[in-house]
Amino acid sequence: MGKKLIGFGSLAAILLIAGFIFFRFYFVFGEGVKAGELNFVVYKGYVFKTYEGRVIQAGFGKGKGANAGAIQSYEFDFSITDKEIADSLMRCGGKTVELRYKEYLGALPWRGKQKYIVDGIVSVRE
């Protein structure tokens, strides 16, 4: 009886840990498109070399007082897992781009530093 209980408890713990890891690192929480001026794309890392990038999105801020309606920028930091997409974006610095991305709840070191992973280029404009 005790061995069965330990076996069942161990199996339940393994399933809970596997479920947590799946939902934290592999479950796609959201998908979408972000547009803005491509600031940079770099290939960096100590152990795991990954492609990292940033898009600057300009817009009008909301708020009260002196800052109401002021122009403010938002930085969208992302990682890229596909080398071809990264190479294409490296040639687009300073251009307005629309990028398709997936959002995960957590980042993995070999996938990149960010929880946003760009998986496609929708458009590039001067």
Q: Which pLDDT value is given to residue 71? A: 73
Asked which of 4-8, 21-25, 43-47, 89-93 is least confident by mean pLDDT, the reply is 4-8
Confidence of residue 2 (pLDDT cuts 50, 70, 90): confident
Residue among 91, 116, 112, 107 nearest 45 (CA): 112
Buried (b) or exposed (e) across 65-92, using 16+ Cβ within 10 A?
A: eeeeeeeeeeebebbbbeeebbeebbeb
Q: Which pLDDT value is given to residue 61? A: 65
Asked which of 39-43, 66-70, 95-99 is least confident by mean pLDDT, the reply is 66-70
Q: What sections of 1-126 are H helices per DSSP?
A: 2-25, 83-90
Q: Is the pLDDT reported for residue 76 higher than 70?
A: yes
Instruction: Report the C-alpha gap between 121 and 85 in whole angstroms.
Output: 7
Confidence of residue 36 (pLDDT cuts 50, 70, 90): very high
Q: Which residues 6+ apart lie within 8 Å of 98 measured at CB?
A: 33, 34, 35, 121, 122, 123, 124
Task: List pLDDT tens digits, range 47-68.
Answer: 999 999 999 998 766 666 656 6
Q: Which pLDDT value is given to residue 69? A: 63
Cα 41 to Cα 47, 85, 103, distances in angstroms: 18, 10, 18
Q: Which pLDDT value is given to residue 124? A: 96
Q: Which pLDDT value is given to residue 30? A: 97
Q: Which pLDDT value is given to residue 3? A: 82
Q: Where are the beta strands (DSSP E) in 13-107?
A: 28-44, 50-60, 71-80, 96-104
